[in-house]
A = this chain, B = another copy of it.
Amino acid sequence: MGIQRKTSTIGLLLDQFKKSNQAIAAVELVDRLKEKVNKTTVYRALERLEDDGLVHSFLDRDGIKRYAICQDCNKDSHVHDHPHFQCTNCGKVDCLEEASVNIPKISGRTIHKTDVLLQGICETCSV
Contact = CB atoms under 8 A, between A and B. Distances in A.
23 contacts: A63-B63, A63-B65, A88-B112, A88-B113, A96-B106, A99-B104, A99-B106, A100-B104, A101-B102, A101-B104, A103-B116, A108-B122, A109-B123, A110-B121, A110-B126, A111-B119, A111-B120, A112-B121, A113-B118, A113-B119, A114-B116, A114-B117, A116-B116
How extensive is the interface on chain A, given as a class? 20 to 34
B63 A115 contact: no
A42 to B, nearest CB: 18
Contact of A120 (B83, B87, B96, B112): B112
Nearest to A119: B113
A87 B111 CA distance: 9
